Amino acid sequence: MSTTVGIPRALLYYHYYPAWEAFFQTLGADIVLSDETTKLILDRGIRDAVDEACLPVKLYLGHVANLRDKGVDCIFTPRVVSVEPKKYLCPKFLGLPEIVRFCVANVPELLTIEINVEQKYKQSVKELLKLASRFDRRPGKAEAALVAAESAQAKYESKLQEGFTPAEALAGQEKKHASSKMRVAVLGHAYNLNDPFISVNLFGKLRELGAEVVTSEMLQPQEIAAGTQSLEKDMFWTFGHQLMGAGNFLLEEGSIEGMVLVASFGCGPDSLVCELVERTYKRHHTVPVLLITLDEHTGEAGLITRLEAFVDMLQWRKAI
Amino acid sequence: MKVTYPHLGSMSVAMHGLFTDLGLDVIPPPPITKKTINLGVMHAPEFACFPLKINMGNFIEALEAGADTIVMAGGTGPCRFGYYAQVQREILRDMGYDFKMIVLEPPQGQLSGLIGELKELCGENRWPTTVNAVHTMWRKIKAMDKLHARLLQLRPRELEQGAITTAYKKGVALLATAHTPKDVNRLYSRALTLLNSVPCNYEKSVLRLGLVGEIYMLLEPYANLQVEKLLGEMGVEVERSIYISHWIREHLILSSLHIKGSRATKNAAAPYLNHFVGGHGWESIGDTVRYAHRGYDGVIHILPFTCTPEIVAQSILPTVSRQEGIPILSFSLDEQSGEAGFRTRLEAFLDLLQQRKTKQRFGT
Ligand code: SF4
Ligand code: SF4
């Protein structure tokens, strides 16, 4: 019987799942995804995590517990330090395997390789190959798994750039949403925006209100880079760089009517990045911003009211 | 050019000295008060970590006092500190201040950037003047750190409450007058004598606690609600795990060589956390384990509310406490933390440690 690898449907799942899936499947492992987020999953995470942890980390722990309860053989909890030169993920990703190990009881084996492009590129590749050989020792298999992962990821990212959100691309959606004159950017962590439970289905709500949603994943890397050009010092966080770059680029391009900025309560980087984006927009005051801070108690009703009011305001602005 | 900088415990004394020795006009930020905090909180991002807010308060007060140049440290991430200066500059600009911000970025393998930034400050100075100023500062920092460690040892043993603190303040004031490395050596001996001549009961048996956590909170007494003084005066010998001289070594010198943290600390942390997590999260674990190994009675962990690296540490510390058999009390502090509650929790912790110690001594 093949080994079952559990993958939490949280955090970097929204960024790299296609690569992970191709990697493990090439090696003959069975992937088990945690269930879609429910209140129960979130509550479990909240119970296990330290109080001050950010919402996404709490949720991650809930998904790990969900996988444990499904009886998987191991759970993939990589330590992703850096995915590009000179940039890092936030400290919680650096200590994620430990947060899991010490907060969730009775976890099965954790697959915790380190991905660190900035400081230890070669070592990271080695760790991937070593991880692969744990599943399939036949010569060439590990390399084949890496190639498969890379091509799956490339395909995924080009799909995102075509205008699909991560959630849609992951669900294999083929049909694009209708475009609209009312283009609204929604910027924030992919793991918040694409989890309908956590974001209270923000994308869906905006579309119902007649808006076309633009996210940072839909932009080309060079567009993001252009957006960060005006910074005196580039952001050293990959996600912060993306958010800042997308925000500035869309503002300068003048193609959006409004921007919804979604921060996580307790998120370190967000506390600074969102502040800067908001300030930039305020200085220009051409595009209105709605700032939403998601926490454990974000209620659907309150959010809908705020979104409706925001979209109404955008429409009036267009009318006059 | 009228230079200012953020407060950071006794580091402020060294900064003031450095800029003076470089021949610059210095406008030190006024001492931190409730007003400083309020200003910082009002203008900083709501969810920014506490040190950023206090810095902001310092900057606003110093700019109001006439400063026009802020010197601030930078960083390469992954922790927020490396981006503090950028955010602070933009906020201060939007507030309408006209000033220049000089950010000293850690060398990252190439010294050219840092030297360029220093040159901006050094202006017309000849090289020997600059070298002397930097050298004096470095010696001063090390001397103040040693003096501080002594202060912590003696405080629980003083016969008259407050005497040692007074002597320490005098000692620091002496060191502040040094303008050459030689001055520092001479004045340090005098300062140490001041401390050592305070009447103390050296035989007294005291509880020993280690202090770990985020660097700013450990170094800035206003931010940590004077935890060292409180504990010392309750008869506890405190050892602080981080000193500014360590930080400079790591941040400005060793980080350029990609060396992070001390080996002993890393090794001690390894069974629990074998990776850098930004800030001092790794050290918090390693130092706690070392305090346990060294027979300390307990550890106090201090972090600013929502501090990312220390939340990683906080997730691990309960296990460390259990497995290493050392009680830990974790405090997450911000502008809303009150002294009364803080004191009560400390007292309860000390009671527990005392009982534990007595039990251990009598083997019951
Ligand atoms: S980036 Fe923010 S939300 Fe994401 S893990 Fe780090 S602190 Fe949490
Ligand atoms: S170590 Fe903590 S307090 Fe310091 S900058 Fe980082 S997150 Fe903020």
Domains, chain A, in order of start with CATH, read: 4-161 (3.40.50), 166-319 (3.40.50.11900)
Mutate to test the pocket of ligand 1, among B305, B308, B311 (most ligand atoms within 8 A of CB): B308
Minimum mean pLDDT range among A62-66, A135-139, B154-158: A135-139
Give the confidence band of B105 by pLDDT, cuts at 50, 70, 90: confident
Q: Of ligand 1's atoms, which has the minimum distance to the CA of residue A270?
A: 2
Distance from CA of A266 to the nearest CA of B (A): 6
- For residues B93-118, give the mean pLDDT: 77
Distance (Å, whole) CA B26 – CA A249: 40
- For residues A302-312, give the mean pLDDT: 93
pLDDT on residue B188: 98
Give the confidence band of A61 by pLDDT, cuts at 50, 70, 90: very high
**Does pLDDT of B222 surpass 80?**
yes
Distance (Å, whole) CA B283 – CA B271: 13
pLDDT on residue B329: 98
Of A145, A61, A146, A65, nearest in space to A108 by CA: A65
The DSSP secondary-structure symbol of B255 reads: G
Q: At CB < 8 Å, which residues of chain A contact B?
A: 49-50, 52-54, 79, 81, 86-92, 94-95, 98-99, 102-103, 114, 119, 231-233, 235-237, 263, 265-272, 274-276, 279, 283, 293
Give the confidence band of B112 by pLDDT, cuts at 50, 70, 90: low
pLDDT on residue A318: 84
Distance from CA of A63 to the nearest CA of B (A): 17
Bridge partners, A84 (sequence order):
A87
Give the confidence band of B110 by pLDDT, cuts at 50, 70, 90: very low
Which percentage of chain B shows pLDDT scores above 70?
Answer: 93
Name the one residue in this structure whose structure tokens are 């070593």: A130
Question: CA–CA distance from A119 to each of A82, A124, B105, B244 (Å)?
Answer: 8, 9, 19, 26
pLDDT on residue B107: 66
- For residues B32-60, give the mean pLDDT: 97
Distance (Å, whole) CA B77 – CA B278: 7
Mean model confidence pLDDT for chain B: 92
Mean model confidence pLDDT for chain A: 95
Give the confidence band of B146 by pLDDT, cuts at 50, 70, 90: very high
- For residues B243-252, give the mean pLDDT: 78
ipTM tops 0.85: yes
**Does pLDDT of B332 surpass 50?**
yes
Of A240, A21, A38, A157, nearest in space to A165 by CA: A157
Per-residue pLDDT of A190-217, as tens digits, reads 999 999 999 999 999 999 999 999 999 9
Instruction: Answer whether B213 touches A (CB < 8 Å).
Output: no
Tokens of B196: 């050592």
Q: Is there an atom of ligand 2 within 6 Å of B129 CB?
A: no
Per-residue pLDDT of B167-203, as tens digits, reads 999 999 999 999 999 999 999 999 999 999 999 999 9
Per-residue pLDDT of A253-266, as tens digits, reads 999 999 999 999 99
Chain B residues whose CB is inside 8 A of the A90 CB are 78, 278, 308
